[in-house]
A = this chain, B = another copy of it.
């Protein structure tokens, strides 16, 4: 069972509700003797932090993390690392609007039907606020992987499609991703995307997004067939993120339209160096990493809370309507970028460690 725990060897368990006193996670299975300080985690949390541009939610949260255990004199000890983030912006506003109503596209209806009770404040446990805990866990995974794999290792994510607007992924530039409010990797799209999203925001509507995450410097051999395949665990990781509805590895859904000649990546050797002529596989064959760049992408559906009035029912089974008042978040997909990176780091470390047990 793994209700609120992710991972097998490197595991994290998250807890906390949107408007509870705090949220956090316990990271278990982290190797000992890795340098770790709060700032290593904070820097990743700051990427995800709300309120950084007009294009994301305006909730005010510092997301200041504290390490409560598992680190001694600046190094991990192999014991569980407990992380806590106290909530700040949880003013007791009027929840009358959503206390008894089920917001369409949200988990309100299903949580209530499943459990017979729900913390309705800000979505409770189903709020994307939970992803702060994942980002914190991912920051630890990243530190370990950097220690084990060295400089070649890097995980980087970006938004490659914003609503109906794509970008040219062959223009992908790591350096500009964190320098624009969309995590866009193609500088040619920045103006267009800005205008597009401003229009959506003004109209009170919302749009979806596709996030692509790339991992470099990954050794061949990670992945445990048949039912802990690397791609399977990446799909699972990404699909667990709030509002995600689809996951691709390499050519993904598009591979259905390719021919055998187009799709299978030819291999050749040049001196000591092995080379794949293409990467439709997204760096994974038979569930095991090939040593190529690992490429995964996932779709985030448009923000369900919009200004337009929507039909719904309340918990007593009465027909009613609902709409968001005031500010809203035009594209929840944007803030999913650091979350996707974090999940990728966690899956990769999990498999890196498992591989030691399987094959050493």
Contacts and interface: CB of A to CB of B under 8 A. Distances in A.
Interface residues of A, number: 149
A251 to B, nearest CB: 6
Given A13-B26, A14-B226, A79-B17, A357 B357 contact: yes
Given A251-B245, A311-B277, A78 B257 contact: no
Interface stretch (A41-49, A149-157, A313-321): A313-321
Nearest to A76: B117
A26 B1 contact: no
B115 A264 contact: no
Interface string A120-150: 0000111000100000000000000000000
Interface string A6-35: 101101011111001111101011011100
Contacts of A23: 69
Nearest to A27: B15
**How many copies of the chain does the oligomer comprise?**
4
Given A4-B80, A239-B235, A255 B207 contact: no
Contacts of A14: 80, 226
Interface of A: 1-6, 8-9, 11, 13-17, 20-24, 26, 28-29, 31-33, 66, 68-70, 72, 75, 77-82, 84, 102, 104-107, 109-111, 113-119, 124-126, 130, 161, 163-164, 200, 205-210, 220-221, 223-229, 231-236, 238-240, 242, 245-269, 274, 277, 280-282, 284-291, 299-306, 308, 310-313, 317-319, 333, 353-360
